[in-house]
Amino acid sequence: MNGPISWFSSTRRLIRILWTVRRFGLDELVVSGAASSSRSPWLLRMTRWLRMGTIREPRGVRLRMAFESLGPIFVKFGQVLSTRRDLLPPDIANELALLQDRVPPFPADQAVAEIERGLEMRLEQAFAEFGREPIASASIAQVHRARLHDGTQVAVKVLRPGMLDVIEDDLSLLRTGATLAMRLSADARRLRPMEVVDEFDHYLHDELDLVREAANANQLKRNFEGSTLLRIPQMYWDYCRRNVLVMEWVEGIPIGQLDRMRAAGIDLEKLSRDGVEIFFTQVFRDGFFHADMHPGNILVGNGPDDFNRYIALDFGIVGTLSDHDKRYLAQNFLAFFKRDYRRVAELHIESGWVPPNTRAEELEGAVRACCEPVFDRPLREISLGIVLMRLFQASRRFNVEIQPQLVLLQKTLLNIEGLGRELNPDLDLWVTAQPILEVFIKQQVGWQGFDNKVRQEAPRWAQLVPELPRLLHAALKAQAEPAMDPAHKRLLEHIERGQRRTLRWLQVGVVLLAVILALQIWRYLN
């Protein structure tokens, strides 16, 4: 029975999507880019005939309204799509960025059933009190307030029932739509809709596992242990499952409520600087950052313990960066703000993200053309997010595949900048970011960087170094064993004599290296 029911459900959903496309005149977004195609004349005539009345709103507004009409998954898709400013026209990206998770809650009875199913116990066994009225409702989940039997106040996050089936159906339809758009429109192919849908798929499935979210929160909490800048609520692991998350209840003022914060005596200028410092610390110190920092996920403490401190919520989306990514980004930022475009081009080539036959001077010219208009303004007005976006745009002209983690970073940086300048219009992000970047660079290159790496690798090298002479001897002996004619034997003996001399020097070098490592290990242990 599941097959016919699923087919019927998908068909009904597809009909609704097509009706929405017609209602909001979204057909032109697909076929207008196919003007040179042999299919386009009849497609344009047909879609104009099907369209309902005269459409006056701009295309971005219509696309946003269509996503809102299609429900939570498409709202979430629009939010993710809005982050791909390296792919979308600005008018569409700006309009989709307005999408919010103002989604009607699902019934309390369903929430209770999901919680009991996940925890495998009755609600009253888990909680002394449970607020049936949700305090927040979003695309994927909603939140209730509760109290544990020991008196601890907690927030209970529960997934919407049946979300996985809905998501799989909608993702299948989105992939079908993306394939159709790519066949009909050259512009759609340039925007790479299949890549965007795959990225959305990844985010959604991560957010559907609340145990993963709780683990992300714990990692951030450890990274900022003892910090006066950021608080991460405690997770209660005995009550965390894939569909249920229970965490410490925290009080604070939503960061978008500026009047309330001013009335409470919050220092908005300090808050704006702290936000930038938190972000760059996560990126360049930890390589692990909260990647969903929109105002709905941030509180500001107004109690005695958390006053003027950020409180982060909702850890479903995080970004990670390798040491290579961090070095690349830090050096690029520093080179950008020194207007050293040659160095930016060289960094692209060194990273291996640009084809090896790329001419540095051509890439340098492209980067200069993108960035000079940005830098023709005071530093405090320059957006690091826009700089990064322009870097990606310039890179695409040279067939660079931008790494997903860097796109996530750019999206988060734009959020942080927008938030910081809302708190303090005169915020100079570069003044706050530059010292962090310079410290990071000093820790990665030069003697200090070498010293840090030796300390990090010392335990591993301490085991490997004593084995090197034996391994070298075994390798040389293995080469000398095969029987050869006299001429080859004389040649081999000559090579062996040279190898023995080399081995003696290697042994001296190994001893010296062992002494250096012993000193470093002693410093590391003391």
Closest CA to 156 of 123, 122, 192: 123
Closest CA to 350 of 340, 341, 360: 360
The helix/strand/coil state of 448 is: helix
* 158/107 Cα distance (integer angstroms): 12
Q: Token digits for 301?
A: 């403490």
The helix/strand/coil state of 420 is: helix
The answer to whether the beta carbons of residues 319 and 347 sit under 8 Å apart is no
Q: Token digits for 374?
A: 């940005």
Sorted by sequence, the CB contacts under 8 Å of residue 28 that are 6+ apart come out as 47, 59
The residue type found at 415 is N
Given the structure tokens 């609520």, which residue do they identify? 233
Cα dihedral sign, 13-15-18-19: negative
Closest CA to 97 of 110, 119, 82: 82
Sorted by sequence, the CB contacts under 8 Å of residue 106 that are 6+ apart come out as 137, 142, 160, 161
With vertex at residue 284, the alpha carbon angle to CA 278 and CA 289, rounded to the nearest 5 degrees, is: 55
Question: DSSP letter string over 78-92?
Answer: HHHHHT-TTTS-HHH
* Residues recorded for the chain: 526
Element (H, E) at 153: strand 153-159
- 27, 292, 314, 325: which one is catalytic? 292
274 is catalytic: no
The answer to whether the beta carbons of residues 199 and 404 sit under 8 Å apart is yes
Phi-psi category of residue 213: left, alpha or beta, with phi > 0 → left and psi -120 to 50 → alpha:
alpha
Question: DSSP letter string over 85-125?
Answer: TTTS-HHHHHHHTT-----PPPPHHHHHHHHHHHHTS-HHH
* 192/194 Cα distance (integer angstroms): 6
Q: Token digits for 233?
A: 């609520």
* 425/374 Cα distance (integer angstroms): 18
* 416/280 Cα distance (integer angstroms): 10
Strand 253-254 and strand 310-312: pairing?
unpaired
Question: What radius of gyration, in Å, describes the C-alpha atoms of the chain?
Answer: 29
Residues annotated as catalytic are 292
